[in-house]
Structure 1
């Protein structure tokens, strides 16, 4: 079962150690089992010995169908719907009205045991990089727990809590949203003391002011002390209306030249100073920073430099990546379609192409949404090729790229464009 393909099996830290009976009591259910739970999962493929499994019902699969696999892999219990009438396969079943709400509630109750400073990171561009940089720098003084990978969703954040080290001195949590109200639900679980707002760009087809309003829900936490905000967000009314103390961050010196990475350094440095770290500690932490997976990673292959920035794409993020491309014999951009832009789709792709035109020598596009980009490059007299499937572009990329070329690979996460590097 793959409800959440990004759920890792390597969440580190002191794992939850409560009995099935204790967990059932928290969830207002019944159990007499004193078996100890040390790990929580919603993906049967990630179940380990002594796991508690939440049988979530997704759009395509139902977790209740995988209880037998959970049992075979050493799971001890499963949180299931009261409506489930199937076999238990030897698992202790904790029956609840709503499995997803139970996941949230258990995470919220467990998180009450934390004593550390909680930092929430949101925005539409740069959340994960900012979170990773912050955790690295703060790690020079504090014992830090952080969200792994991009576990920032309605499922990912609760799992981070249930599988993480809640005794940490500082807890850095990435917090995302795709629909109205989702960020507020995450805030109500963890109640951050400090909030970070990175850049805001078009996403999910929503107007920017609406996105700003939703993202600013982070600062409604009852424990919020201070907001750290990217300077780009200053013009948004919801940001201007914040009544808590505000501190602005922008680029700060670091082991990079790319502007968006330096903005993440700026956020990390600002918060490190706020938490009382010395300049020497901060400098040591900054020297350890490196780009996170598929976020402007530089990879040399056969004499060419590939920039793997393929984790995700929004108009602002693509333009930023293009503006930060190193020099090379030729600059080639392999851009996948930007998804979830709704009514802004056509104009956004056109704007990105207009930005790319003076910066790129050859453009490869993947996805029908890229037609406006093709139009801009054809009118501008520069080579452009459109591919409707990722597989089609793999061979073309291999034959096109030459020594000393610089190749940017960027597109929506669903395209998984990073896999194209395997065949180059």
Structure 2
């Protein structure tokens, strides 16, 4: 068995990690990870043939020479290698998690800090027990900061990711209703996300937490853990806030005014839609200010960030304005998206909502609550897609509101919308990733 120290020396010589034989980088280290339906040990020889310098395996049956490195467990070896590498890095690492907005907030923080520092941030959705170690292993000696997103769908996962990323600074965007099945309810979500605060509070050297002072739940979580080294931000004028701000406009992009403890005020325009993104922007401004960036650098970072990956993304077509927010969905994010569309000024507004996944025993109640919320919004048409929404259709049977449709599948919705085209409207499209609502975009 190869030791982590020996593996690390090989990593320093070959500092690129590959996990997919279809995307082998010549000279890389191939880690033969297992999945539910595959065992990459069987692809180790193919990885070497494709140009990998070494293949890390945990089945001795596939050790076909010195370039096959045998470990007890490949995933554990990957995580241990990342931990070992992280200990060699003497840079700030900002770890962030939360129910909603963590990816957008991560991107905003990175956009701001990159105005002065060479940063590295989590790419795509590499925020789990595999993605975080892969991200850490892309940090090199040239980087001055790292922004690491940590996702979870069950308890103890954030705790694990903290041992790998070892954040010096941390941020929880919020705590809401998501992955209820895995976390075991809302209290389970609070406990799971709070593992980041646990790590920051119990670390030997003092760590810093950035906390939204407007969020009562986060303040209670902070106090329960005795977390004292805190930097606050928020929309209120709390004198403890390093940064405070307020929304000026959302038509459809957010513009805001923010000020620091010296009462100096600055205006900034973003390319984000959705008033719920104000907190995410303020978090990035707060972190930029904490690390010494001036107002021009901070505003350039905010103004230059363009949302992508179908998160709070505005798309203008020939006949409609689309609010593409269908990367994922949960009750908390559904509510704020509905509120935002309600406030948007437009001649015609349409809401298209797809099922929310991983709701467990709360699924019926949560889909019902979203339907009720949607029915109370000032919009011209509502379209619900998916078996979970459709099963709660009785919620609107006694309503006098017209122009409300339910479709069992996205395919059914596509047929229905083609028969009744939507034009000259602002359209919110939101649902869980598994609904693949991007298929609807071409209809508009």
Structure 1 range deviating more: 346-355 or 68-77: 68-77
Displacement of 1:372: 5.3
Gaps spanning 5+ residues in structure 1: where?
A: 1-22
Match of 1:174 in 2: 149
Match of 2:326 in 1: 310
Q: Structure 1 pair 108/34, CA: closer, same or farther in 2 (3 Å)?
A: closer
Asked if 1 retains the 8 angstrom alpha-carbon contact of 2:44 and 2:57, the reply is no
The alignment status of 1:379 with 2:398, answered yes or no, reads yes
Match of 1:365 in 2: 384
Q: Structure 1 pair 34/282, CA: closer, same or farther in 2 (3 Å)?
A: closer
CA distance in 1, matches of 2:132, 2:8: 26
Structure 1 range deviating more: 164-173 or 100-109: 164-173
| 1:219-258 to 2 correspondences below 5 Å | 219=197, 220-221=199-200, 222=203, 223-231=205-213, 233-235=215-217, 237-242=220-225, 243-251=227-235, 252=245, 253=256, 254-255=269-270, 256=272, 258=274
Residue from 248, 260, 263 that aligns with 2:279: 263
Q: Structure 1 pair 346/166, CA: closer, same or farther in 2 (3 Å)?
A: farther
Asked if 2 retains the 8 angstrom alpha-carbon contact of 1:175 and 1:183, the reply is yes
Displacement of 1:276: 1.4
Asked if 2 retains the 8 angstrom alpha-carbon contact of 1:111 and 1:161, the reply is yes
Residue from 45, 52, 71 that aligns with 2:48: 71
Asked if 2 retains the 8 angstrom alpha-carbon contact of 1:331 and 1:407, the reply is yes
Displacement of 1:24: 4.5
Match of 1:393 in 2: 413
Displacement of 1:147: 0.5
CA distance in 2, matches of 1:258, 1:91: 55
Residue from 62, 86, 109 that aligns with 1:86: 62
Residue from 9, 18, 23 that aligns with 1:41: 18
Q: CA RMSD for the aligned pairs? A: 2.6
Displacement of 1:75: 1.6
Displacement of 1:245: 2.1
Match of 1:294 in 2: 310
Residue from 334, 349, 354 that aligns with 1:331: 349
3-state SS of 1:340 partner = coil
CA distance in 1, matches of 2:234, 2:395: 32
Displacement of 1:180: 1.4
Per-residue CA deviations over 1:73-124 (Å, capped at 9, x if unaligned) read 322221111x341364x78211111111111001111112212111001111
Asked if 2 retains the 8 angstrom alpha-carbon contact of 1:304 and 1:401, the reply is no
| 1:19-30 to 2 correspondences below 5 Å | 24-26=2-4
3-state SS of 1:379 partner = coil
CA distance in 1, matches of 2:27, 2:428: 44
CA distance in 2, matches of 1:208, 1:374: 25
Displacement of 1:416: 2.2
Displacement of 1:339: 0.8
Per-residue CA deviations over 1:345-404 (Å, capped at 9, x if unaligned) read 111111111111132332222221113553333332333333333223223334434332
Residue from 360, 383, 397 that aligns with 1:342: 360
Match of 1:60 in 2: 37
Residue from 423, 427, 432 that aligns with 1:412: 432
CA distance in 2, matches of 1:343, 1:129: 29
Displacement of 1:313: 0.3
Q: Structure 1 pair 34/232, CA: closer, same or farther in 2 (3 Å)?
A: closer
The alignment status of 1:203 with 2:203, answered yes or no, reads no
3-state SS of 2:276 partner = helix
Displacement of 1:25: 4.1
Gaps spanning 5+ residues in structure 2: where?
A: 236-244, 246-255, 257-268
3-state SS of 1:310 partner = coil
Match of 1:212 in 2: 190
CA distance in 2, matches of 1:345, 1:112: 42
Match of 2:98 in 1: 123
Asked if 2 retains the 8 angstrom alpha-carbon contact of 1:78 and 1:91, the reply is no
The alignment status of 1:163 with 2:113, answered yes or no, reads no
CA distance in 1, matches of 2:121, 2:2: 27
Q: Structure 1 pair 265/29, CA: closer, same or farther in 2 (3 Å)?
A: closer
The alignment status of 1:151 with 2:126, answered yes or no, reads yes
Displacement of 1:36: 4.0
3-state SS of 1:196 partner = strand
| 1:89-100 to 2 correspondences below 5 Å | 92-100=67-75
CA distance in 2, matches of 1:174, 1:35: 24
